[in-house]
């Protein structure tokens, strides 16, 4: 049976690593979700909006100034012929140079009396950059348990720091940033202690001679940069899809409304958990399977089971979105609950697109990955500019759903054409439509709507169960 063939060494390896990553990421997400009632009780909608805008800004800075080198670290360290010591040292060298440039810019802004939490922005940039390279290195060499444990302990550190700094000391926005910086440092220290190559090369890289004597651009580094730099527009485009709405919302409606959206978007992070977990394991196995003659069948099976799993989870979260919101969104934040079902739908579409991103990574086709994301992000921006002033948060939801659909359609078309894989789309498209109807019914908040939405959940389960059964023979 085809189902049994999926559970070969490859399938079991993917499932095992996904489980380990899932356990680690689930622990982190659960802790972060448990912190949300604290944030929404202590911080105002305006303060939370300010925090979210600054953090997403730092997430934009990191790939630009570090040339997205973390992506090259993960992809190339997987290869057996990779010079791991050189790649790690080179990556750290880029981070030190990038940090000097960012520090110089921040110093100038400080002299101009432009102080928008500049010190905290710099420290988050530096610690995020180092943590990302270290984490991608250990993930690339297959140390999945260390990767997961580092993430869990850093999240526990974040939780304890936030409880102490926000509730006891009452440090507000600055306290939130300090907690993030401390959690990044905890992750860095753990990886330094338990991965010898990281520790050795970190010590070598911090000398001034090493920082200024090495050139970023030479023949040996060209392959890394040819892979990582086309991913910068891709990363920026994803950032536009996921974060630009906050800035346009901030411009038209101010930090309070932005804070409502920022809080509501945390609930779909339940879906993003599965996306992150799968992506971390899938990128590794897709790259490893790249030269395998039977990889096409393996890819199709993974797509089938992953897509069905995401559809089911999304339908359950949509059905329970108001109940979840009563726990997560406190006081003034609760009014944003009826946006949650549509944000979950958008996350479902984006998450399934992650599968195709893994295939691009395996084939080292970063330019193709970039094209679909750029087109999606341009569409996102156009819709946001046209509709945000009139529709507020609804404009972000429309832009997100439309742009994610465009990316999904483009990626599945390109992968089907280039890899000659026939992906079955009928069930996925029907499921997306059912999720959309379910979202409408839940958001109108009536008893009848709830029960009809529940029947849609049952239909989704039946359709996809039948699809799995058909696929066995």
- CA distances (Å), 275 to each of 64, 331, 395, 417, 465, in order? 23, 30, 24, 24, 21
> Is pLDDT at 273 greater than 90 in this prediction?
no
Q: Tell me how far apart the 2 most distant CA atoms of the chain are, in Å.
A: 70
Angle at 364 between CA 359 and CA 370, to 5 degrees: 80
- If you average pLDDT over residues 301-329, what whole number do you get? 85
Angle at 280 between CA 88 and CA 13, to 5 degrees: 105
What's the start-to-end Cα distance of the chain, in Å? 6
Q: What is the pLDDT of residue 1?
A: 46
Helices assigned H by DSSP within 43-83: 45-65, 69-77
Write out pLDDT tens, residues 326-375. 877 776 778 888 888 999 999 888 888 877 777 776 666 666 677 888 88
> Within 10 A of 46 (CB to CB), how many other CB atoms are there?
15
pTM over 0.85, yes/no: no
Q: How long a stretch of residues is the chain?
A: 473
Write out pLDDT tens, residues 205-242. 777 766 766 666 666 677 888 878 877 877 777 777 77
**CA gap 325, 335 in Å, rounded:** 9
């Amino acid at each position: 049976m085809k189902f049994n063939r999926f559970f070969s060494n490859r399938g079991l390896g993917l499932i095992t690593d996904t489980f380990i990553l899932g356990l680690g990421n689930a622990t982190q997400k659960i802790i972060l979700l448990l912190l949300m009632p604290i944030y929404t009780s202590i911080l105002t909608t305006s303060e939370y909006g300010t925090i979210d805008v600054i953090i997403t800004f730092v997430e934009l800075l990191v790939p630009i100034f570090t040339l997205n080198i973390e992506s090259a670290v993960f992809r190339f360290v997987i290869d057996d012929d990779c010079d791991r010591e050189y790649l790690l040292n080179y990556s750290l060298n880029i981070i030190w140079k990038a940090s000097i440039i960012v520090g110089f810019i921040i110093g100038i802004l400080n002299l101009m009396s432009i102080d928008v939490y500049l010190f905290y922005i710099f420290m988050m940039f530096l610690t995020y950059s180092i943590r990302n390279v270290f984490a991608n290195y250990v993930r690339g060499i297959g140390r999945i348990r260390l990767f997961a444990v580092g993430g869990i302990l850093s999240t526990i550190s974040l939780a304890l720091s936030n409880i102490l700094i926000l509730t006891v000391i009452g440090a507000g926005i600055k306290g939130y940033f300090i907690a993030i910086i401390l959690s990044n440092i905890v992750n860095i220290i753990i990886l330094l202690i338990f991965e010898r190559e990281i520790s050795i090369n970190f010590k070598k890289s911090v000398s001034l001679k090493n920082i200024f004597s090495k050139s970023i651009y030479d023949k040996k580094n060209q392959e890394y940069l040819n892979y990582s730099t086309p991913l910068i527009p891709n990363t920026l485009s994803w950032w536009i899809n996921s974060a630009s709405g906050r800035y346009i919302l901030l411009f038209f409606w101010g930090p309070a409304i932005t804070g409502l959206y920022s809080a509501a978007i945390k609930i779909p992070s339940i879906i993003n958990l599965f996306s992150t977990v799968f992506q971390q394991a899938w990128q590794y196995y897709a790259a490893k399977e790249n030269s395998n003659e039977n990889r096409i069948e393996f890819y199709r099976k993974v797509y089938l089971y992953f897509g069905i799993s995401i559809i089911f989870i999304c339908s359950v979260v949509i059905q329970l979105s108001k109940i979840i919101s009563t726990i997560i969104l406190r006081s003034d934040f609760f009014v944003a609950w009826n946006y949650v079902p549509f944000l979950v739908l958008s996350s479902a579409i984006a998450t399934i697109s992650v599968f195709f991103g893994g295939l691009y990574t395996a084939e080292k086709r970063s330019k193709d990955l970039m094209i679909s994301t750029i087109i999606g992000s341009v569409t996102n921006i156009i819709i946001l500019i046209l509709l945000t002033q009139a529709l507020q948060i609804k404009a972000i939801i429309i832009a997100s759903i439309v742009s994610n659909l465009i990316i999904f359609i483009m990626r599945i078309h390109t992968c089907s054409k280039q890899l000659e894989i026939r992906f079955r789309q009928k069930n996925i498209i029907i499921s997306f439509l059912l999720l959309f109807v379910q979202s409408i019914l839940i958001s109108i908040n009536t008893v009848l709507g709830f029960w009809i939405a529940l029947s849609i959940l049952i239909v989704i389960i039946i359709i996809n169960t039948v699809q799995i059964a058909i696929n066995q023979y």
